[in-house]
């Protein structure tokens, strides 16, 4: 942040406000404190029979790699509504949500993932503007070496393990920066 | 947002960017799109024996009403780390976390709550700067008419029900604006 979004001043510093314990963007002009907080990514693991729906990314990062439909949660929606919106936008998929399935923290990029699990309501899926291809894969068919993000890889691994037991507890995890 | 935080221009409009489907703060000076997303509140339901720890709020909103320790998740931390930090800041409480206990959406104020459940590791708790009092309550003792927020009321109700069954599944809910 170079300029204060309240008053337009360029006297913005990054320092610890009085009574706080960590640096914030502080405006020397109007005194505003600008907080920056983690963002929520919402998505779905869509399944049909023994297959899972994946999207091949048409955008950076990880263009050309495969992922579950997910994206930034928007103001004014619930996390489930956001997950269904992303499934439609990226995969034109209509989902019947079973429940929240995985909650992951990725602290080095300030993100929290809320992934739902849900059955495809029909097979009328297809790529939205952010996807090159959308396909159903069995566990053996999944391009495991071409999964875009570790959170998606772990969620998929949990799913195929849980499927053998027919029990789908909530999975919680933390993805740490690779050293 | 009145001024662009990138370039300081006052030519900021609230309009739908090309290729998007909802209005954003757009800078007519440098072209920046400023996204505003929901924030995450992290907290703990701290218990000891048949009692739960509550904090009497020393700050607005709901000054003087009782709540579970919770607050805005910060960049660079996991949701569990944030929940423990808030328990310390508000209640000087040391917690052994059992697990994630409730996930609530409050779409009209753009918030997602992640509440953990955990046992107090000791009885050395006490009010931090944002609390007037910190006390342990049995179910019968809880000031049910003086709970600060519906999300906390529902989480407490779930807890005392679950305690009778000795089973603590994840609870997911949505708090809608009161009409």
User: In the predicted model, what is the mean pLDDT of residues B97-120?
Assistant: 98
Is the model's pLDDT at B9 over the cut of 70?
yes
Is the model's pLDDT at B178 over the cut of 80?
no
Q: What is the pLDDT of residue B179?
A: 66
Would you call A176 an interface residue with chain B, using a CB distance cutoff of 8 Å? no
Cα separation, B41 vs B83, in Å, equals 8
Q: In angstroms, what CA-CA distances link A8 with A15, A29, B9?
A: 18, 8, 7
3-state helix, strand, coil in chain A (%, to 5): 20, 35, 45
Nearest chain A alpha carbon to B1: A5
Say yes or no for a CB contact (<8 Å) between B74 and A34: no
Say yes or no for a CB contact (<8 Å) between B74 and A22: yes
Residue B10 burial (CB < 10 Å; 0-12/13-18/19+)?
exposed
Q: Rounded to 5 degrees, what are φ and ψ at B154?
A: -65, -40
Cα separation, A168 vs B3, in Å, equals 47
Read off the pLDDT of residues B124-157 as tens digits, 9 standing for 90 and up. 999 999 999 999 999 999 999 999 999 999 999 9
Q: What percent of chain A has pLDDT over 90?
A: 96
Say yes or no for a CB contact (<8 Å) between A73 and B38: yes
Q: Count of CB atoms within 10 A of residue A35's CB?
A: 12
Q: What is the pLDDT of residue B177?
A: 86
Residues of chain A with confidence (pLDDT) below 50: none
Q: What percent of chain B has pLDDT over 70?
A: 99
Q: What is the pLDDT of residue A176?
A: 94
Q: Which of A38, A75, A107 sits opposite B110 (nearest CB)?
A: A75
Would you call A107 an interface residue with chain B, using a CB distance cutoff of 8 Å? yes
Q: What's the gap in Å between the CA of A153 and the closest CA on chain B?
A: 19
| Alpha helices, H only, A92-175 | 150-165
Q: What is this model's ipTM? A: 0.95
User: In the predicted model, what is the mean pLDDT of residues B120-124?
Assistant: 96
Q: Which of B3, B108, B112 sits opposite A40 (nearest CB)?
A: B112
Q: What is the pLDDT of residue A34?
A: 94
Read off the pLDDT of residues B60-88 as tens digits, 9 standing for 90 and up. 999 999 999 999 999 999 999 999 999 99
Walk me through the domains of chain B, giving residue ranges and CATH numbers: 1-36 (2.20.70.10), 39-174 (3.90.79.10)
Q: What is the pLDDT of residue B98?
A: 97
Q: What is the pLDDT of residue A179?
A: 66
At a CB cut-off of 8 Å and minimum separation 6, what does B92 contact?
Answer: B124, B125, B126, B127, B128, B134
Q: What is the mean pLDDT of chain B?
A: 96
């Amino acid at each position: 942040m170079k300029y204060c979004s309240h008053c337009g001043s360029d006297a913005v510093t990054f320092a610890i406000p009085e009574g706080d314990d960590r640096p914030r963007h502080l405006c020397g002009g109007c005194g505003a404190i600008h907080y920056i907080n983690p963002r929520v990514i919402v998505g779905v693991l869509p399944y049909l029979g023994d297959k899972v729906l994946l999207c091949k990314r048409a955008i950076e990062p990880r263009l050309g790699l495969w992922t579950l439909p997910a994206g930034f949660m928007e103001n004014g929606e619930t996390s489930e509504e956001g997950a269904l919106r992303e499934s439609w936008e990226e995969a034109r998929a209509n989902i019947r949500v079973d429940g929240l399935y995985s909650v992951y923290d990725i602290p080095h990029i300030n993100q929290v993932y809320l992934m739902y699990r849900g059955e495809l309501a029909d097979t009328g899926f297809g790529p939205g503007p952010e996807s090159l291809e959308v396909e159903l894969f069995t566990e053996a068919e999944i391009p495991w070496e071409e999964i875009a993000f570790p959170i998606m890889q772990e969620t998929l691994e949990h799913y195929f393990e849980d499927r053998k037991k027919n029990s789908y507890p909530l999975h919680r995890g933390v993805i740490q920066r690779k050293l």
